[in-house]
Chains A and B, each alone.
Chain A
Amino acid sequence: MKKFKTFTRKYLCLPYGIFMFVFIVMPLIILLMYAFSVKDGTGGLSFEFTFSNFASVFKSDNLAMLGRSLLIGLITTLICLVIGYPVAYLLADKKLRFGPTIVMLFMIPMWVNFLLRTLATKAMFEFIGIEMGMGTVIFGMVYNYLPFMIMPIYTTISKIDYSLVEGAADLGANALVTFRKVIFPLSVPGVLSGITMVFTPTITTFAISKLLSGSKISLIGDYIDLQVEYMNYNVAAAISLVIVLIVGISMLIVNKYDKDSSTMGGGLW
Chain B
Amino acid sequence: MVKYNKKKIIASVFLGLVIAILYLPIIWLIVFSFTNTTSISNWSGFSLDAYKELFAGASSGEIFSALCNTLFIALIASAISTILGTLAAIGINSLRNKRVKAAYSAVNQIPMVNSEIVSAIGLMLLFGLFKTLIPMQGNVEMVAVIFAHVAFCTPYVVLNVLPRIRQTDNKIYEAALDLGCTPWQALRKVVIPDIMPGIVMGFMMSVTLSVDDFVITNFTIDGFYTLSTLIYSKASGKKPLPIEMRALSAIIFIVILLIMLGITKANQKSKDTSKAVNK
Contact = CB atoms under 8 A, between A and B. Distances in A.
A binds B: yes
A244 B118 contact: yes
B147 interface: yes
B76 interface: no
Contacts of B231: 113, 115-116, 119
A31 interface: yes
A16 B22 contact: no
A117 B121 CA distance: 24
A11 interface: yes
A20 B108 contact: yes
Interface in B214-269: 214-215, 219, 227-228, 231-232, 235-236, 238, 240-241, 245-246, 249, 252-253, 256-257, 260-261, 264-265, 267-268
A15 B88 contact: yes
Contact of A120 (B212, B228, B249): B249
Among B112, B115, B116, find the residue whose CB has the most chain A CB atoms closer than 10 A.
B115
A27 B253 contact: no
B274 interface: no
Contacts of B111: 24
Among A42, A107, A124, find the residue whose CB has the most chain B CB atoms closer than 10 A.
A124
Contacts of B116: 201, 204
A230 interface: no
A215 B254 CA distance: 29
Interface string B73-99: 000000000001101111111111000
Contact of B22 (A21, A30, A106): A106
Interface string A7-25: 1111111111101111111
B150 interface: yes
A163 interface: no
Contacts of A200: 115
Interface in B1-32: 4, 7-8, 11, 14-15, 18-19, 21-26, 28-29, 32
Contacts of B114: 244, 247
A211 B40 contact: no
B167 interface: no
B253 A116 contact: yes
Contacts of A112: 26, 252-253, 256
A120 B30 CA distance: 9
Given A12-B90, A25-B107, A201-B116, A108 B260 contact: yes
Question: Which 8 A-B residue pairings sit nearest by Cβ, starting from the closest?
Answer: A27-B122, A13-B91, A16-B88, A12-B91, A120-B25, A9-B94, A23-B151, A12-B87
B240 A9 contact: no
